[in-house]
Amino acid sequence: MKAIRRFTVRTVLPEQLQPLHDLALNLRWSWHPETRELFRSVDPEVWEATGEDPVRLLGEVPAARLAALAADRRFLRRLHDTADELHDYLTGPRWYQGAPPGTDGEPLPAAVAYFSPEYGIAAALPQYSGGLGILAGDHLKAASDLGVPIVGVGLFYRHGYFRQSLSRDGWQQERYPLLDPNELAVSLLREPDGSPCRVVLTLPGGRRLHAHIWKAQVGRVPLLLLDSDIEENSAAERDVTDRLYGGGSEHRLLQEMLLGIGGVRAVRTFCRLTGHPEPEVFHTNEGHAGFLGVERISELAHGTGLDFDAALEAVRAGTVFTTHTPVPAGIDRFDRDLVARHFGGDAALPGVPADRVLALGAESWEGGDPRLFNMAAMGLRLAQRANGVSTLHGEVSRRMFNGLWPGFDAPEVPITSITNGVHAPTWIDPAVVRLGAREIGAAHAENAMITGEAKRWHGVEAIADADIWELRRALRAQLVDEARRRLRTSWRQRGAGDAELGWTESALDPDVLTIGFARRVPSYKRLTLMLRDPERLRRLLLHPERPVQIVIAGKAHPADDGGKRLIQEMVRFSDDPAVRHRIVFLPDYDMAMAQHLYPGCDVWLNNPLRPLEACGTSGMKAALNGCLNLSVLDGWWDEWFDGSNGWAIPTAEGTGVGGNVHGAGMTGGQGIDADRRDDLEASALYDLIEHQVAARFYDRGPGGLPHRWIEMVRHTLVHLGPKVLAGRMVREYVDRLYAPAAAAQRRLAGTVPDGEAYSGARELAGWKSRVREAWSAVRVEHVEAGGPADAPELGSTLALRVQVALGALEPSDVDVQAVAGRVDDSDRITDAAVVSLKPSGRPGLDGRWLYEGPLELARTGPFGYTVRVLPAHPLLASTAELGLVAVPPESAGMDAGLLR
């Protein structure tokens, strides 16, 4: 019979073992080996059976075992030492507490709120689908290790993402097991009277969306997860947080409203109850949480009397927006009427007219769809600072969103980049850490993994070749054992009996070159590129002297039948009895699998369509374990491949980047037939594996060691290890985005010394309004250059004189610039240098201002310049912020230094 209600009966721990409860509820156990070993020692069999989950472990350990541990002095000493170490970790100063002040010597932010729709903290808290969530989890963990005062905000999905299995014919199957929060490392946030805290959103038609707040403690970082599956809601509202990335358009809109609006309210509640400092900076990880800015505008408009424009400026100053998508198709877009209905009428937020909300997400650029509300556009309009997640992705993003800053070339679009990193204590296998600690000391090794301050990992060079090779084989053997276990489980789910599964005992070989490929399965990641020439792949797998084996994993979105077909194609190939011992597909890719997969592979394969991989952090995790990368030059690999840390797969169409936010979307290999491109790139991949990768792996020297291969592994650890760390990434966020955002927020909020409340916000909003109204009268009317214009030589100087009409504006409102650099065949300036010109005297009788300044000819070859006028104000983060620019009228060209 099926139960009508399900709940968890918690174990009552003996008093001596109470610290186990606190250790289990702080997710630091997921990356702290000593704590994990303590829990393992409680009951090794139950630990394995519960998926290495301390909360479930404590719920299933027999009472007799707990009683025995309560009387075990040796265990109790370990327990109290571990609990004391956690207390020191949570309360002692870390990097942030000793970091130098930020912008203009101001203190670093008192707190930062970090919003993301998913978080990959541990397999035991399945609230993630892929890279975005894993990145968010690593961000929080690194912030905890560094002492950065972040508060994480997300949603609690009762069914998580989904569990994946395969049908007999290889088709992806999805299961959505119900998650009981009482079985997870979370606790309900409660009011002083013991009642659960709630946030409430007003919906159209008098409806209400209620949510409880679960708190997961990620080391020092609280993570607040909003849950709508509570009795106060009707059935439809209870399902808002049912699963990650599920449901229709309105369902997704309600999720994103709860995340953004409800998330801000959850943060306010948490700070009120705990005394945690209120965040000065709000970080939006992708556009899903963009409505947080609308809620904060409403807070200011309703609570301080600011008008919408001043509140908008105050909110923008303290907001950071990170975009992860390299294609317009990856952006959430909603019907404008749907958004209007949820932000108008009886559902309107106080002080926030629906038409102003709609303007934030409007696709107002040429080619935009006026019927749609664009979440990325709103995120960028609500944030004064924005970034992509690798250097190449920053370039892609500036082109993609260029339409929001008309008149500016893509390189000047105010979107910077901070390359992602990964949390080393989570992803480095303990055996790798032990080997490094043996050479450089445990404390040095731990500090190197956390801070990311070193340019190279000194000391690793001294590790002997034999030790590295022995470690790599042990990790490979560990993966082989895990893969065989998962293969058997998968085939049983597919209906196979034990009599059919004898072959799994010899699947894979711990002495064979092992390539890993694991990620989500959208088409652009090209799971099946390796199948373009099946016969050649078979020859590589079955080579008599240099065989290759491949371990593959990945999930397709439940609604993506195209992705499911790719998985089925791969599974059918790997089911072939002739090759199934050399290539395997492991279903249900999650963090637990990944922690075996990354260390156990010799080579990590990534072959997306360039430039559609925003960053691609799986290869970073592999590299931290001494795995070499074999990848298209996309994402992070484009900037950190150095020829000695792996191999670059040639692309069929150069490095061209194209497309924009209003186009049909960027595609890799533009100008070449897609099939032809895949054939060429697959052929290049086969050649690399056969003639370079496998050849080097099996090139054995004295003692049977592949010394050249081992040198590449050592080089990867020494030089790439420090770069790929989440600690490095979070420090860059603090220095380049959080600190400047906090300083700007204080200036606009009037919290700088002697500041009137929100005087800066009012000033900036009024100035922007005045500039926008007057800008149509701003013109560059005449440009002339004195000096050697007819026979220019390197090092000579042109004297520029520019006449500018400013209309109702003053020189203090603008920056008149000369922009100079190399020119291409169409007279476009590249690699530009910018020089600000100075006003000379008062305006003439005709109202025009004269600006003057020198222009040095600092390079040879084709050279050109132009001038422009931009708005200028000390409270702007970028001169492109308003998207306004005045340039000379189109002309036939230059003659004798005069613009005609």
DSSP string, 133-168: HHHHHHHHHHHHHHT--EEEEEE--TT-S-EEEE-T
Backbone angles phi, psi at 795, to 5 degrees: 95, -15
Whether 77 contacts 26, CB under 8 Å: no
pLDDT in tens, 741-794: 999 999 999 866 666 788 999 999 999 999 999 999 999 999 988 776 566 777
Which residue has tokens 């449901």? 247
Cα 285 vs. chain centroid, distance in angstroms?
7
* pLDDT greater than 60 at residue 663: no
Distance CA 367, CA 830 (A): 26
The tokens for 187 are 């606790």
pLDDT attached to residue 659:
39
pLDDT attached to residue 827:
77
pLDDT attached to residue 674:
87
pLDDT attached to residue 7:
61
Whether 117 contacts 153, CB under 8 Å: no
Q: Per DSSP, what are the bridge partners of residue 151? A: 113
pLDDT attached to residue 5:
62
Average pLDDT over residues 42-51: 95
pLDDT attached to residue 9:
62
DSSP codes of every residue in 453-510:
--SS-TTGGGS-HHHHHHHHHHHHHHHHHHHHHHHHHHHHHTT--GGG-GGGGGSS-T
Closest CA to 621 of 426, 362, 427: 427
pLDDT in tens, 147-156: 999 999 999 9
pLDDT in tens, 364-392: 999 999 999 999 999 999 999 999 999 99
Question: What 8-state DSSP symbol labels residue 662?
Answer: T
Confidence of residue 800 (pLDDT cuts 50, 70, 90): confident
pLDDT attached to residue 681:
96
Closest CA to 879 of 780, 831, 820, 813: 813
The tokens for 19 are 């610290």
pLDDT attached to residue 610:
93
Q: Per DSSP, what are the bridge partners of residue 631? A: 606, 648
Confidence of residue 527 (pLDDT cuts 50, 70, 90): very high
Provide, rounded to the nearest whole percent, the portion of the chain with pLDDT above 70.
95
* First and final C-alpha spacing in the chain: 88
pLDDT attached to residue 6:
61
pLDDT attached to residue 8:
61
Whether 709 contacts 697, CB under 8 Å: yes
Average pLDDT over residues 427-445: 88
User: Cα-Cα-Cα-Cα dihedral of 636, 642, 648, 652, to 10°?
Assistant: 80
Distance CA 94, CA 7 (A): 39
Average pLDDT over residues 133-159: 97
* pLDDT greater than 80 at residue 260: yes
Give the H/E segment covering residue 171. none
pTM as predicted: 0.94
Q: What is the mean pLDDT of the chain?
A: 91
pLDDT in tens, 678-734: 999 999 999 999 999 999 999 999 889 999 999 999 999 999 999 999 999 999 999
Confidence of residue 459 (pLDDT cuts 50, 70, 90): confident
Confidence of residue 881 (pLDDT cuts 50, 70, 90): very high
Average pLDDT over residues 234-238: 95
Q: What separation in angstroms does the CA of 817 have from each of 688, 721, 852?
A: 49, 42, 10
